[in-house]
Structure 1
Amino acid sequence: MLKKFLQALRPPQHEHLPDPDAELALGALMVRVAQADRDYKLEEIRLIDKILARLYQHNAIEAAKVRATCEKLHAAAPDTDTFGKLIRETTDLKERLAALDALWEVVLADGNTDEGEVKIVEEARVAMGLSFNDSKAARERVQSRLDVS
């Protein structure tokens, strides 16, 4: 009985997290961007799920599971540039540009551009080996899609 009591007082053991691949790295970066303003909204969660489903051909349940894993990775996460470098080293230019679009989509989704969100996108952009002009073009593409909606 004492053993059970002492175990209850210990902090919970963290479950084993998978080694991130490009998908999990991008998901963790999107979560990081969405949480940068300390207001992680349901709309942002849904958007991240939608982006993961679109980019990686998941159904809604699979995308939600991936995002949940990404939330855990973000919480235990290395620096933003570590995720960005992983994306750079494991994907081609087209996929890195799509990842940058996805990050801007999360930033611009709520209509408020938080300085902390932009800082994370810029750190990720540099780590992914993309230029300032790539980022500017991605932001403009996403903004034009949002303006049409």
Structure 2
Amino acid sequence: MIKGLFDRLLNAGETPATDADARLALTALLVRVARADFVYDTVEQAQIDRIITRRYALAPAEALALRQEAEVLEADAPDTVRFTRAIKDAVPYEERIGVIEALWSVVLADAARDEHEDALLRVVANLLGITDRDSNLARQRAAGA
């Protein structure tokens, strides 16, 4: 499954990414952001589970399985571009703003912003085509939630 996803992401013109690929890519990106500060704790894992449960209407066991699969994918992925490409190709701009808001909510879940997380979010927002203004507004909404 993971090799197939990497193949589709690397050869986007030949075999396009599916909605399931975008779902896995988003979850892996959530994990990558949570791990950016070198601390991946249960608070962040629980936030990821809440996001994917709500976004994809999953049962708790399904969310856990998706997150665990995404953790393996994230650990094996050489860069972030593959994840953002799958998301950008499958998700309209307005919904990508929601992706950035979800990413910010993971960053803020442990009540400590880290320079590594901030830097990664700036890169991810750019790769997703999200403006700095929209990313900042998404961060403010995530902080207020």
Q: SS where residue 129 of structure 1 aligns? A: coil
Identity %: 39
Equivalent residue number for residue 44 of structure 1: 44
Deviation digits for residues 19-64 of structure 1 (CA, Å, limit 9, x no counterpart): 1722111111111111111111111111111100011110100000
Counterpart amino acid of 1:85? Answer: R
Equivalent residue number for residue 133 of structure 1: 133
The TM-score normalised by the length of structure 2 is 0.84
Q: Could you tell me how far apart the structure 2 residues matched to 1:22 and 1:125 are?
A: 16
Equivalent residue number for residue 7 of structure 1: none
The TM-score normalised by the length of structure 1 is 0.82
Give the gaps of 5 or more residues in structure 1.
1-15
Equivalent residue number for residue 109 of structure 2: 109
Is 2:81 the partner of 1:81?
A: yes
Deviation digits for residues 75-113 of structure 1 (CA, Å, limit 9, x no counterpart): 111311221121111111222111111100000111110
Equivalent residue number for residue 19 of structure 1: 5
CA contact (8 A) 1:27 1:52 kept: yes
Q: Give the length in aligned residue pairs.
A: 130
Q: Could you tell me how far apart the structure 1 residues matched to 2:70 and 2:123 are?
A: 18
Give the gaps of 5 or more residues in structure 2.
7-20
Equivalent residue number for residue 56 of structure 1: 56
Larger C-alpha radius of gyration, 1 or 2? 1
CA contact (8 A) 1:125 1:131 kept: yes
